[in-house]
Every structure is written in C-alpha cells, then in structure tokens.
Chain A
C-alpha cells in the first residue's frame, strides 16, 4: 500500500513518462526480504495481511525449520572448519570466479548500483560556520555483488503491462548481499544462489536496478566509498513498528480536554464524517490502526563524510526510517537537482577500493568542520 501511494504521488507530480515508469518499476521491484529466524511473522502489518507473499525469482526461501540434529561438539566444530576452509582458504587469490568484465563508462543516463547499509546511530557534526548538523551514520557491512541479471532475463519476469517502456526494457539488475551468515542456517536453494559467486550466504539480499553499463561481476565488494561526500542519496528503510495506535499517536490528533465535563473521550478522534446527503465516512479518513513497519524512502540526503576504514558514511539528518541497527537501502538520489553531473561524475560502476593506492581513511565535505582543525574564527570586517 505504501509503495503504491508513493508511486501514485510521484505519478501525479512527475515530469515525463519515462521517469514515471522507471520509478514505478524501481519501487515495485525493490522487493526485499528479511531473514527472520524461527517463527518468522513477528512483524506483520494489518494492511493486506492476508496477501500471500511471493518471493522474486532471484530469491528462494532462505530459512528452514531447525531441529536438534544431535551433533557432538566436535562434529559441530568440524563443520565450522570445513566451511571456513571452503570460504577463506582462497583469500590469497581473487574472490572473483570469472574473468573481470569490461567496465562501463558513466553517462547521464546511467544508473548505478546501490548498497545495503545498517543504521548505527545519530550524532552531531558542525559545519564551517559553527552550525550544528545531526547526521546519521550508515555502516556498509560486507556488501558483495551476488548476481547480475541481464535485461532480457529481467524482462521475462516482469509483468508486460508494467514494463512496456523501451527505456525500462533495457534495465538490468544486480543482486547484492550484505553480512555473511552461517551456511548451515539456510536452505539448500538459498545457498545455491551464492554457488556461482563462491560467496558465503548473505543475511540480507536485495536487488538494485541498473543500466547495463553499470554491471559488476559477482563477488565484487561494495564499500562506503561507492558514495562521495557531497553526493545525494535516497535511503529506503522500514519504519519502527509501533503496533496498533490511536489517532493521537498515529495522526497527531489533539484529543479532547482532560476536564470540563469530558468523560471517556480524552484521546478519541471525535466526529469522523459529515451528515447530510453524504451520510458516510469518506475514504482516507484518519483512524486508529497499525502504525509503523512500513517502507519509507527519504530522498535527497547529502553525504557529509565517509570513513573508508570502517565503511561508514555520515548522511544528513536524524530521520532515516528504522531503529538503530536496522538495514536500509541506499540509492543515488532520484531528484533532478541531486543527480550526478558530467563535471562531477560518480565512481563508476563502483569505487574499486582494493585496486586504488592511498585511499584516504576519512573523506569530508568541504563545508564540514574537521575536528582536527582549529576552532572556527570569524574574520573582522
């Protein structure tokens, strides 16, 4: 529902057809899943709760019911050893299973891959005028490209009515995973997704739509330096689940007085419809209901600082959806005034940090005050 309402608002506000379709596809295809162990359905929304969730074709069911296998501790340890041998012994050689692919050249029509990040907290920074900003720290935990889906393959799985634009027919996709997980926890099918790339299964998996010139071979690591200070990003996250809430919390209604003869309706909504000929409640009336646990996207957030050692980026604002520790998806900003320009192109298809020499540990926006610099002095005029 939320995605549809977002798309609808964009549809009416968008500038040309091409973008509208692009955004719809982007939003509809950002199917992401959370690997919840055990019972699963702890966080359900009331909206469309009966709708059966279908997984996209690139993402098989990830978890299975675990049962006591009566393994001795030594067997358990042996299993861990085998897994670590399989996945870490080849650390001296390149993690890429295939030959490196030719790297595309950035153009204004290019769409790069995004990253999966984890929100790790909010803390203040100051700019060069002494103005205090709140920034959210997004950690990019072990992101790796799992799979490249070429346009023709992607087209097979998209609805023809939803994808009838020539531009979007040329879109490809990259499946990206974050945070390795114990392979014994996942299903065989889910493990098979990572077989081609030789990666450990990932805790979090998502798909980013790209143009084919931004394709990356499976196994390519993505770092926080994929983004540079001064760039703008869109961040998609799941808001904190607040459960069933009344109108005062959910819609910030004022409620009714505590005294002056008011009984039993201090936090109630009051009237919900007009009388007369209508004699009904109009659709969209704000009422109590489930609050939170919805996908929300914040657009046009500036990146102030990037730490390449710990893979952390400082993003403008404290209001990125989700609790501390939750996963978010970071995209190049979709806003026109926030896009990359030919004067200042992004690292394309990504920043290959391992190949570069002398990458700075900390990258700052020029407007940001760096703590190692002296205190701000205003000049006499």
Chain B
C-alpha cells in the first residue's frame, strides 16, 4: 500500500529520485552527475584530508550549502595560486611574512611553532608560538588573508598531541626558536617525521587542567594522586564508541572524495608547492 503513495517531492521532478522518501531535514548526499566527469578521475593520495583539511566544509548541517562551499573552494584555490600555502602540521616550525603598515619595512616576519590549527574554508587559521626576550608570543594567522606574503615551513614534523596549547605552561625552552632559523630539508618522498619529545611543564597553577587532557607529549606531571582521581571521574571513555557523534563531526567519505576530485585539476599546483617545502634536507641542527 505504501509503495503506491506517489513520491511527490521537489527533488523527484528535477533530479533522479532518491531510493526512498526523504524524511530527514537535510537531504542525503546525491552525487551531482553534471559536475563530476568520471573519465578524468585520478587516484588521489590517501593523506589529502590531513594535508588540506580546510577544503572540507564545516559538517554542521544547518550551515552547509554546496554552492557556497564550491565558491569558497574556488576562492581558496585562486589564493593558493598566488601565495603557496605549504603542508604543515601541529608541531611544525614555520615562518610567516605579512604586510604590516606599522613596521619600518612594511613587512613583519615571525617564526614559531604551530600550536593549533582550525577553521574551514576561507576562515582557516593557525597559531604560531615563540618566546622572544623571555616573553611568550602567539600570533594567529588567517591562511587566506591577502596580507600574508609568504609562509615557510622551517621544520616539517608532527608531535604526539593534536594541540600544543600546553606549551604555554611548559618551560620556555620548549617554545623558543631563533628568528634566523634555517629551513631543514627532508628527502623526497620521506614520511613526515613525528617528534616524540616529552615536554616538562612548569609547576601549577596552569591555564588548564592538563592532567585531564590525556597528553602524550609531556613528562610526568608530578601531581598528588587526588588530581588523577579527579581526572578519572571526568574521563569520557564511551565517546570513542559514539557513532552518531563521529557522524555529526565528519563529512561522508564519498563526499570528501568528490570535493578532492573537484580540486584535482589544481592538484599539480598544490603538489608542487607541497613538494618544495618537503624537499628541505634534514640537517638536524637541533638546539
């Protein structure tokens, strides 16, 4: 009986009808046949989503619009053709040159370690941290701001944690980098090295309760047992089994593939800038 009910929704008239009646508020993802030319599809590298995470839109359904996302990606690619934005990760040491009206030579160069990164689309940003004259400095850069003249990766590496905000409470030597640091080169095709350094934190008080964050890259915190007991209470071990949470926080894989195939014509240009930054040899001038 139900199958006899005519499916009269707007989509059925202009598009290929979906397999069943749409009940969700957000319609399921239907691949746009007109836009994807299946002939030219090349295999994409597996690490695309880690190298270019900001090309994936914000997964919140109430903010999504596929036309806006496409226009945004076009703008991002256009900007990337002007200024190369290299591959970098949390923990990489970078130098950024920006136009600065108030500087004497009208530009400002800052070197620091990338402690956090976020935003999607044109809103993408990253934070650099350094200690200069015993003063900790953090600068947030918008990746697609036209003020940015140059982004250099001086040392391409990853750390054990997803955010290095605990460097604010660490000893200053862990976030001190010379402003005249030479770029270190990696051999071609080498994987991104993971720096498993363990950072020593200063004694409490801290900005956050780091004992609750399950940090990998810190030395023993040296706290009394009651802090760990309290941290145990605040653990959320069930979250890794929460499929709905994961679903809401991610873009479906087939849609990710479509997005990356859409930017595939610009892939050469993206990859060349990526290779340039990788070509730096590891000179291991650690200090």
Q: Which residue of B lies closest to A185 (CB)?
A: B8
Question: Could you say which of B14, B67, B149 contacts A310, with CB atoms under 8 Å apart?
Answer: B67
Assuming the contacts A123-B72, A372-B78, asked whether A68 and B99 have C-beta atoms less than 8 A apart, the reply is no
Interface presence of A360 (CB below 8 A): no
Which residue from chain B places its CB closest to the CB of A121 in the assembled complex? Answer: B68
Pick the interface stretch among A69-77, A213-221, A253-261, A351-359: A69-77
Q: Which residues on B sit within 8 Å (CB–CB) of A307? A: 71
* Contact indicator A69/B99 (Cβ below 8 Å): no
Once the chains bind, are B65 and A325 in contact (CB under 8 Å)?
Answer: yes
The proximity string for A residues 104-130 relative to B, scoring 1 for CB distances below 8 Å and 0 otherwise, is: 000000000000000011011010011
Interface 1/0 per residue, A320-339 and B, CB below 8 Å: 00011100000000000000
A15 CB–B CB distance under 8 Å: no
The size of the chain B interface, using a CB distance under 8 A, is 39
B146 within 8 A of A: yes
Residues of A within 8 A of B62 (CB): 323-324
Q: Smallest CB–CB gap between B100 and chain A, Å?
A: 7
Q: Does B123 contact A (CB under 8 A)?
A: yes
Complex partner residue of B82 from A372, A377, A379, CB under 8 angstroms = A372
A169–B229 Cα distance when bound, in Å, is: 79
**Across the interface, which residues of A come within 8 angstroms of B106, CB to CB?**
377-380
The CA-CA distance from A182 to B63 in the complex, in Å, is 26
Chain B 8-23, CB within 8 Å of chain A: the 1/0 string? 1010111000000000
B68 touches A372 (CB 8 A): no
Cβ–Cβ contact A182 & B79, under 8 A: no
The reply to whether A70 and B4 form a contact with Cβ atoms under 8 Å apart is yes
What is the total number of residues of chain A having a CB less than 8 Å from a CB of chain B?
A: 41
Q: Kindly provide the distance from the CB of B126 to the nearest chain A CB, expressed in whole angstroms.
A: 16
Are B99 and A375 in touch, CB under 8 angstroms? Answer: yes
Partner of B63, one of A121, A130, A203: A121
Whether, in the assembled complex, B145 has its beta carbon less than 8 Å from a beta carbon of chain A, the answer is yes
> What residues of A have a CB within 8 angstroms of the CB of B121 in the complex?
123
Q: How far is the CA of A36 from the CA of B134 in the complex (A)?
A: 63
Q: Given A323-B62, A324-B65, A377-B106, verify A126-B4 contact (CB < 8 Å).
A: no
Contact of A123 among B5, B123, B147 (CB under 8 A): B123
B259 CB–A CB distance under 8 Å: no
Find the B residue at minimum CB distance from A325: B65
CB-contacts of B122-155 with A (<8 A): 122-123, 142, 144-149
Q: How far is the CA of A203 from the CA of B64 in the complex (A)?
A: 21
Given contacts A124-B142, A324-B65, 17 further A-B contacts (CB under 8 A): A68-B4, A71-B6, A121-B63, A121-B69, A124-B122, A126-B145, A126-B146, A129-B101, A132-B145, A180-B14, A184-B8, A323-B62, A324-B62, A324-B64, A371-B79, A375-B82, A375-B146
Query: Which A residues have a C-beta under 8 Å from some C-beta of B?
Result: 66, 68-71, 76, 80, 83, 120-121, 123-124, 126, 129-130, 132, 137, 139, 180-182, 184-185, 203, 307, 310, 312, 323-325, 369, 371-380
> 17 A-B pairs, CB-CB below 8 angstroms?
A83-B13, A121-B65, A123-B121, A124-B142, A126-B146, A130-B145, A180-B14, A185-B8, A307-B71, A371-B144, A373-B82, A375-B82, A375-B149, A377-B99, A377-B149, A378-B101, A379-B106
B interface residues (Cβ-Cβ under 8 A, vs A): 4-8, 10, 12-14, 62-65, 67-69, 71-72, 75, 78-79, 81-83, 99-101, 105-106, 121-123, 142, 144-149
